[in-house]
Structure 1
């Protein structure tokens, strides 16, 4: 093994030296000679040849990395279309793709900071707020099983802990299988059409849960819910990316996931009220829970057909004749998004992902570290969260008290989530800030594993689990991160789904950690959670190192080229997404 690693290291060393050699060779070559020297037949090699900096100023599209203290350069970084040749290149790209906002594209338009702030507030009220309402609808039906098991659900259906696990696993597997197909459908017909259809369909299934009587019906409804809800989150992220810049998206996503905790609070209060209907019409409280909350989601789904414009230029409709934005506001919305990421116009919003685009997105290995984070980062918190109500019932709390006691952790979770995402934006740092989630949960999981009073001390157990579940959630940072590093609409559509699939795979694995034969203290399960938590910290640090290394490699070689060579590359390269040589990874 040591010999194999040595050979691998020698190979990497040899390749890097070869890249440096070609960089020196191309430094003074005219642009027309670059392609033969760099062997265009090997795009991945070209990506490695031209390296770049890990600097915040590269977190937007640039025509060439230069010194940041040059005011003209700062202006160019804000508007990559100041170069007429680059503007014309992208104009032709938008025309070729039939980008729906192409007629509004204007490299010369300017706006004031006050105008932009007012517009962002309008976007938050019109776009982000309804995205949160739709996510509320998702979480109501996705999470009410936790409230149901605080009542007589398991007893009435003659289910045990392992059956409960299998219900959750069935849901997650179905959710996972639907992620990518759902995203492909959404990209073809538009998220503004597909998302309301999804919500409406799954709400019907959610309502039908009030009539189940067998284990088979339980598993069937969980599977159908997973199939219909799968893909919803990346669909929403794609829709939001049409209106917000890469810097603004994580903050909006933090509102999005704060809705998860708000939903938990609301549904806990609803469950407390609804369980008082226990016995009415001969129905158990959990049956009323599924019926009433399913009707709430159905209402959200039907209204969503009228609340989701396809893009900033398509807000006018027969039921909204004046639209949401003035012509001036439309111009600002479109051009600010394109200046942040010109690739957002290389597909139109009713364009399907081709098999080739799909394959290229799957093979974009630069995004794989974030997929690994998605797979591992949320496992340590998943079993304690899933078993929260069962844990509180096992230490002596009643059904009504249990549902109320879940509220504090949800409240604290909102605060830590928003603070973590704001901290990431303020520091322009993703990996190390997101790692704070694992740092927070580590001492709590150690206590779960080794504290002897975990069962005997009811309030102590409650306090420990509450602190653990108040952890700062890094999901908003990671979703914005994967969107930013995709640097292409086609890749972004696929990568959002792949990231969410990796999260679902991790969740599926998490359901095997707490087992019937390990209860009530789950020593074996908590030992596994502790190991995974430590691995997560290592993965975050490794991802940071990887992206810094890639940026510095690109920067060294890019700076070895002259302006003519850089301009030739920008106008002629066929590479897209994170493989573009003028792109720098966020980390």
Structure 2
């Protein structure tokens, strides 16, 4: 029967619920009559289950460990390289505006700092709004058609960004890019969670996330290279950057259409025996994907009334603020240390190289020891040390060195923060909505709530300080006059 991944080792005290015949891997047919799992009844012991799958299942002949290893290797070879390319393209196209700004985009379009910030933020408006609708469409249609389509849209949007001539055009391009990319990461996570067991899932997510850091590593040198094209054919270097990064995405969208899959039972590169084995080994962790269960109002109630959805949202929010801050603003930040524009572009690469190794380490540790919360805690401490150091040091090379601490902490957290929710909803219809809901809540509702509370607190504190200062300066000691001065 399905289980929860608790985020810690199995010895942490979560109870194992004995179920009849629960020590066997049931084929999908035994789950056909299960419409929805009662989540609170399925906290199974990860290590006990791991031990079960390796020993008792092998001995009973239900799952042969060697056959399963061969199957997982085959899944990796056919799935991971392609998904890594998709993920790399996703992050390269969303974060390139930081490099383009350093290359002269703001000056060439005549934008103020406020307009530039608005254009950067515009991406997240549609990104938040379209995450859940996108995954609902994915569940109702197919990954082959829907994910390929949205990749084509964001590829075209990236190319067209190169030909924006003012703030309005850039805003429209960023809004379209956000809407198109909104469903891709939730969609990819949903597909992977159907293919891999929880202990296999985290390391694969870690490999995927290295594509985000590698995109940051490549973006700086790529911007540096396109700077030599500045003036060619009447285009600026940053325009060539968008073209060079957008055209391959359009090509990948076509590749995606022919190679993406919805159900492993329909692919041609697995034998019938391997398809049966895949069904058996994954049946422990999720309901059978019959493809007939619709997304209803009850599905949304199940997702939004589940405490896990909100907990995972907070976890992802705090992690992703750090990820996007360093990914988008690293070139601008390094430039502010006192380095020249071209040097700053090149210096963005090494921290992302460190982040790549850290992401792989975090994904490996999460899969190897089956814990996630300790990695999130350790990563947060390291990130806090890095950001605090930026306030202390003044030497430009010392400041640059601190940018290696932040990616280390970010990398340790990444696989756990992003993939945790995808393996804790056994019902696949609920999971399709929940994975997107976690991202939407984190980006939208919680972020707006936090910023509103911070804004309110700062406004109140500022008003109080001004009130006390006006009282000190004003000859009239009455509170009303002081308050009027403060408001004025």
TM range (shorter): 0.7 to 0.9
Which residue of 278, 283, 304 corresponds with 1:338? Answer: 283
Secondary structure in 2 matching 1:305 = helix
Contact 1:60–1:77 (CA under 8 A) maintained in structure 2: no
Contact 1:434–1:477 (CA under 8 A) maintained in structure 2: yes
Relative distance call for 1:350 and 1:125 in structure 2 (3 A) is farther
Residue 469 of structure 1 and its aligned partner are, at CA, apart by 3.0
Relative distance call for 1:478 and 1:467 in structure 2 (3 A) is closer
Task: Please name the residue that 2:403 is paired with.
Answer: 465
d(CA) in 2 for partners of 1:503, 1:162: 24
The alignment covers a number of residue pairs equal to 424
d(CA) in 2 for partners of 1:240, 1:78: 25
Task: Please name the residue that 1:219 is paired with.
Answer: 171
Query: 1:196-207 alignment to 2 at 5 Å?
Result: 196-207=148-159
Secondary structure in 2 matching 1:248 = helix
Task: Please name the residue that 1:292 is paired with.
Answer: 244
Contact 1:196–1:305 (CA under 8 A) maintained in structure 2: yes
Q: Does structure 1 residue 129 correspond to structure 2 residue 67?
A: no
Q: Does structure 1 residue 362 correspond to structure 2 residue 304?
A: yes
Describe the superposition over 1:327-366 as per-residue Cα deviations: whole angstroms up to 9, x where unpaired.
Answer: 1111111211112x142x1x43465412221222121123
Which residue of 341, 344, 356 corresponds with 1:414? Answer: 356
Choose between structure 1 and 2 for higher RCO, CA contacts under 8 A separated by at least 6 residues.
1
Contact 2:103–2:238 (CA under 8 A) maintained in structure 1: yes
Contact 2:386–2:402 (CA under 8 A) maintained in structure 1: yes
Query: 1:301-450 alignment to 2 at 5 Å?
Result: 301-315=253-267, 323-339=268-284, 341-343=285-287, 345=288, 347-349=289-291, 351-380=293-322, 382-450=324-392
d(CA) in 2 for partners of 1:170, 1:508: 15
Contact 1:192–1:239 (CA under 8 A) maintained in structure 2: no
Relative distance call for 1:88 and 1:287 in structure 2 (3 A) is closer
d(CA) in 2 for partners of 1:248, 1:60: 21
Which residue of 174, 179, 183 corresponds with 2:135? Answer: 183
Relative distance call for 1:59 and 1:144 in structure 2 (3 A) is farther
Structure 1 length normalisation: TM-score?
0.67
Describe the superposition over 1:491-519 as per-residue Cα deviations: whole angstroms up to 9, x where unpaired.
Answer: 21111101112342389669989xxxxxx
Task: Please name the residue that 1:111 is paired with.
Answer: 63
Contact 1:199–1:229 (CA under 8 A) maintained in structure 2: yes
Which residue of 107, 111, 115 corresponds with 1:155? Answer: 107
d(CA) in 1 for partners of 2:126, 2:233: 33
Contact 1:385–1:469 (CA under 8 A) maintained in structure 2: no
Contact 1:238–1:492 (CA under 8 A) maintained in structure 2: yes
Residue 475 of structure 1 and its aligned partner are, at CA, apart by 3.0
Relative distance call for 1:81 and 1:313 in structure 2 (3 A) is closer
Q: Does structure 1 residue 489 correspond to structure 2 residue 428?
A: yes
Relative distance call for 1:79 and 1:193 in structure 2 (3 A) is farther
Query: More deviation in 422-431 or 148-157?
Result: 422-431
d(CA) in 1 for partners of 2:450, 2:349: 23
Task: Please name the residue that 1:56 is paired with.
Answer: 10
Task: Please name the residue that 1:261 is paired with.
Answer: 213
d(CA) in 2 for partners of 1:306, 1:58: 45
Show structure 2 runs of 5+ residues with no match: 1-5, 36-59, 453-457, 459-488
Secondary structure in 1 matching 2:199 = coil
d(CA) in 1 for partners of 2:13, 2:195: 18
Relative distance call for 1:288 and 1:432 in structure 2 (3 A) is same
d(CA) in 1 for partners of 2:275, 2:29: 21
Describe the superposition over 1:151-204 as per-residue Cα deviations: whole angstroms up to 9, x where unpaired.
Answer: 111111122332222112111111000101101100100223211111011111
Contact 1:250–1:479 (CA under 8 A) maintained in structure 2: no
Relative distance call for 1:489 and 1:381 in structure 2 (3 A) is closer
Residue 461 of structure 1 and its aligned partner are, at CA, apart by 1.7
Contact 2:358–2:407 (CA under 8 A) maintained in structure 1: no
Relative distance call for 1:381 and 1:232 in structure 2 (3 A) is closer
Query: More deviation in 263-272 or 295-304?
Result: 263-272
Residue 81 of structure 1 and its aligned partner are, at CA, apart by 3.1
d(CA) in 2 for partners of 1:369, 1:283: 47
Task: Please name the residue that 2:98 is paired with.
Answer: 146
Residue 62 of structure 1 and its aligned partner are, at CA, apart by 7.0
Relative distance call for 1:433 and 1:304 in structure 2 (3 A) is same
Relative distance call for 1:417 and 1:197 in structure 2 (3 A) is same
Task: Please name the residue that 1:566 is paired with.
Answer: none
d(CA) in 2 for partners of 1:423, 1:389: 30
Q: Does structure 1 residue 208 correspond to structure 2 residue 137?
A: no
Describe the superposition over 1:79-118 as per-residue Cα deviations: whole angstroms up to 9, x where unpaired.
Answer: 2539xxxx87524449xxxxxxxxxxxxx97332221111
Relative distance call for 1:121 and 1:261 in structure 2 (3 A) is same
d(CA) in 2 for partners of 1:368, 1:483: 13
Secondary structure in 2 matching 1:293 = helix
Task: Please name the residue that 2:204 is paired with.
Answer: 252
Residue 490 of structure 1 and its aligned partner are, at CA, apart by 1.8
Describe the superposition over 1:234-268 as per-residue Cα deviations: whole angstroms up to 9, x where unpaired.
Answer: 11111112211122111111111111111222333
Residue 437 of structure 1 and its aligned partner are, at CA, apart by 1.4
Relative distance call for 1:61 and 1:307 in structure 2 (3 A) is farther
Secondary structure in 2 matching 1:114 = helix
Task: Please name the residue that 1:90 is paired with.
Answer: 31
Query: More deviation in 171-180 or 242-251?
Result: 242-251
Relative distance call for 1:293 and 1:378 in structure 2 (3 A) is closer
